[in-house]
A and B are shown apart, each in its own frame.
Chain A
Amino acid sequence: MMFGRMLALGAPLAALGLLMAPWSETRAAPEVPLYTEGSAAQSPWERSIYGARWGDRDSSAFNTLDNTNASPELPPIGELRPVPAGIAGDPEKGKELAANRRKGGSCLACHVMGPAGNADLPGNVGPDLSEIGTFGHDDSYLYNYVYDPRVFNPETSMPPWGAHGILTEEEVVHIVAFMKTLTSPVEFSDPRDDPETRPVPVEDRDGQDPLVNPAIWTMETALDLYEEAGPTGKSCASCHSPAEEDFSTWAASMPVWEPRLDKVLGVEEFVYRHARATTGAEWLMQSEENLAMAMYLRFVANGTPIDVDTESEGAKAAIARAETLYHTKLGQLNFSCADCHEDSKGANKWVRGQWLGESRGQLPHFPVYRTSRSEIWDIRKRLQWCNVAIWADELAPDAKVYGDLELWLSSKNEGLPLNAPNIRH
């Protein structure tokens, strides 16, 4: 190595600080070089990463993480809409709609509804409705509950299917007609179809075995990237010892509030901004090089308990913002993070065949190879996908609010050892 392992990164800056001490404030710690201009991701951001199936939905009329006043206003409690006259409810059509995955994931995503949709993997976030036809609800109650349940309960997790334009008035009438035919408990032919007896998924693959996890193949390229000179002629190795030595715990302290950028920086954005400022390499977030380096920097810190700064003023404010966002309804489906990931709500239940996890316990295994998509997802991509899945426009991966959420998530995962990269379906 031309430059050898000559100096700790901050040494020249620290020396400068001492020289300047008599006429300026000394700094507690030398500042790490960071490129503070522009976006750390593809700009302008495009959703191409999600492919055509998710690419063309326009959710701009609804709340996003950085615009929480877009969605239509909450209806007044008790203000019921009249059931449209002149439409005859057709239980058969209602049964099809209840199982139609293109209508916001279908009723069955959250409710057991008798044999509808062949009782194919219903979820249990909401109550079992197999006998709702015997509960004595009138048409107005059922109609309004599907059209916009917030007229009964403003805190409900259930989407306002009619008010947010996912189902038409006529479709709601058909679903009401179908519900009135539900009078007996469903009999599942297989216990795995019943969300109450379906086994909870256990991930027992070795996520760091290259014969198991293809993400390792990408991660291994980081060893070359570490030594590769960038446009300035320097490489990571020009200033740093091997990552196993210099970064044996670092990733567990990320993300961190960065005053120079007025935002929380995660490993991925840090890699872009620090490399750009030092070697000149442009490893944009979610690029192959950025993922490789971000995985490698976590991998060398594996086993280190997550321990992020939550005490600085900036960090406290970021966590407070995230706490509010966690409870804010987003997207056309009108879900908050809490609706799916809070134990008292959707967490530890099934939405269709997918198990909803809690906020604690998932972060340490990111970045993760997703076998369902043959892609490596960092935590920011996971958060973007959460947005798209609830029919909300996602933001660029370096958006300030994702940083807030990542720091908040890290505080929820405090003490859990890093275990990255990993593999999930």
Chain B
Amino acid sequence: MAKRVKPRVKVPKSASAGEVVTIKTLISHPMESGQRKDKDGNLIPRRIINSFKCEFNGQPVFSCDIDPAISANPYFEFSARVGESGTFKFTWVDDDGTVYELEEPIAVN
């Protein structure tokens, strides 16, 4: 189910100045903990998303380190107060070095 890594976010298209908006993020990812064994008893190498951050117009909104206990397809929902139009930028870092990025604009009126 989580063979293809794909980040997704939900951000309102618009908000009024000073409004607190809810942001939902999810990245489909196996989050292999590194502690499981395969059928032959060999450890399956760890491969997780190890960090996530969200910025708005370059300012930090939310960030976290992620450890192996987090289950597959990590989902983060948080809120942010927006005072101006701009762009939310989301960044996920994979153990294999891949960096996944998404951007979502929001219009403040």
A217-B75 contact in complex given A211-B24, A211-B26, A374-B1, C-beta closer than 8 Å = no
Question: Any chain B CB within 8 A of the CB of A214?
Answer: yes
Residues in A whose Cβ lies below 8 Å from that of B2: 214, 217
Q: Is the CB of B1 within 8 A of A217?
A: yes
Q: Is the CB of A214 within 8 A of B1?
A: yes
Q: Is the CB of A211 within 8 A of B1?
A: no
What class of interface size applies to chain B in its complex with A?
A: 10 to 19
Q: Mark A272-312, 1 if CB is under 8 A from B, else 0.
A: 00000000000000000000000000000000000000000
Residues in A whose Cβ lies below 8 Å from that of B10: 211
Q: Which chain B residue has the least Cβ–Cβ distance from A210?
A: B8
Q: Is the CB of B28 within 8 A of A214?
A: yes
Q: Mark B41-80, 1 if CB is under 8 A from A, else 0.
A: 0000000000000000000000000000000010100000
What class of interface size applies to chain A in its complex with B?
A: under 10
A275 to B1, CA, bound (A): 23
A10 to B39, CA, bound (A): 49
Residues in A whose Cβ lies below 8 Å from that of B73: 214
Q: Is the CB of A217 within 8 A of B6?
A: yes
Q: Mark A358-389, 1 if CB is under 8 A from B, else 0.
A: 00000000000000001010000000000000
Residues in B whose Cβ lies below 8 Å from that of A217: 1-2, 4, 6, 28
Q: Is the CB of B75 within 8 A of A211?
A: yes
A211-B28 contact in complex given A217-B1, A218-B1, A374-B1, C-beta closer than 8 Å = no
Q: Which chain A residue has the least Cβ–Cβ distance from B25?
A: A211
Q: Which chain B residue has the least Cβ–Cβ distance from A209?
A: B10
A217 to B30, CA, bound (A): 13
Q: Which chain A residue has the least Cβ–Cβ distance from B3?
A: A288
A210 to B26, CA, bound (A): 9
B76 to chain A, nearest CB (A): 11
Chain B residues with a Cβ under 8 A of chain A: 1-2, 4, 6, 8, 10, 24, 26, 28, 73, 75
A-B contact pairs, 19 of them (CB 8 A): A210-B8, A210-B26, A211-B8, A211-B10, A211-B24, A211-B26, A211-B75, A214-B1, A214-B2, A214-B28, A214-B73, A217-B1, A217-B2, A217-B4, A217-B6, A217-B28, A218-B1, A221-B4, A376-B1
